Amino acid sequence: MLEYLFIGLVGVVVGGINGMAGGASVISYPVLLATGMSPVSAAISNALGVTPANFFALISVRHQMRDYFRQYRKLIAISILGSTTGAFMLLSVPPGVFEKMVPFLLLGASLTFLIKPKANRGARHDAMEKLGIGASGLYCGYFGPGQGVMVIAVLARDIRRDPKTLNTAKNLIAGWTSLVSNIIYIFSGRAVWPAVLALVIGGSIGGTVGGRYASKLSPVVYRALILTVGFGASAWLFKKYYLG
């Protein structure tokens, strides 16, 4: 019982950070592993537990959701296609394979965010954006933690998007992407439901608070938060899977 209470408290922290920036579900993943879950069960339970935080983070901008959905519906569809593919890969590929890939994927996402954004470059920019969002969706279905960082890194290439727009778009894309892959996970029979419920409750509380304060963050603090989470998470994963 105490371990699920702790998981719920971790969910509050993860939901709060995800609501403001993204990538923090890598914090809850090792916590689930520590309870004795297999890597695949931990990844699936983690994904199911933290997804609602993305939607709760949108409460503060709910009156703008129709416009945001209309603007980003193509990217949402591309990301969903990628996540569906990734979810089936997770259930069919040996766990050791994705464990070795995750640190590199997350580090790559974090490094991408250091690239200076440039103005929209027309058709080429749109094509690269769609490719990047599709890749983030594939990653979401295959593992999950850090997807928010990847989505923001791709969307931030257009300097017309301010932090509030980036965060809202990220929560919308990541939320719908995870929702679809989660349907596949539910029928996999590998989720640990008490842990999922604890994360849902904690993450929903944290996501609501995080989404409300995301629009108040300065660009400098916003970028620092994302980079801290991204680099910190990738360093932990490199240590876990390569240094022992």
Q: From CA 207, how far away is CA 237, in angstroms rounded?
A: 24
What local confidence, expressed as pLDDT, does residue 141 receive?
92
Whether the Cβ atoms of residue 209 and residue 13 lie closer than 8 Å to each other: no
Into how many domains does the chain fold?
A: 1
Cα of 235 vs its chain's centroid, Å: 17
Q: From CA 244, how far away is CA 238, in angstroms rounded?
A: 9
Predicted TM-score (pTM) of the model is 0.80
> Token match 């979401």: residue?
140
Domain encompassing residue 123: 2-243
List, for the chain, all residue ranges whose pLDDT scores fall below the cut of 50: none
Q: For 40-85, how does the pLDDT look when each residue is reduced to its tens digit (9 = 90+)?
A: 898 899 999 988 877 877 887 888 889 999 999 999 999 999 999 9
What local confidence, expressed as pLDDT, does residue 121 receive?
58
CA angle 83, 35, 230 (to 5 degrees): 45
What's the length of the chain? 244
What local confidence, expressed as pLDDT, does residue 58 receive?
82
- Report the run of H or E that residue 149 belongs to, with start and end: helix 147-155
Whether the Cβ atoms of residue 82 and residue 135 lie closer than 8 Å to each other: yes
| 3-class SS of residue 158 | strand
**Cα 119 to Cα 126, 136, 157, 158, distances in angstroms:** 12, 22, 7, 5
What local confidence, expressed as pLDDT, does residue 112 receive?
67
What local confidence, expressed as pLDDT, does residue 120 receive?
56
What local confidence, expressed as pLDDT, does residue 17 receive?
79
What local confidence, expressed as pLDDT, does residue 82 receive?
96
- The strand pairing partners of 158, in sequence order, are 118
- The strand pairing partners of 208, in sequence order, are none
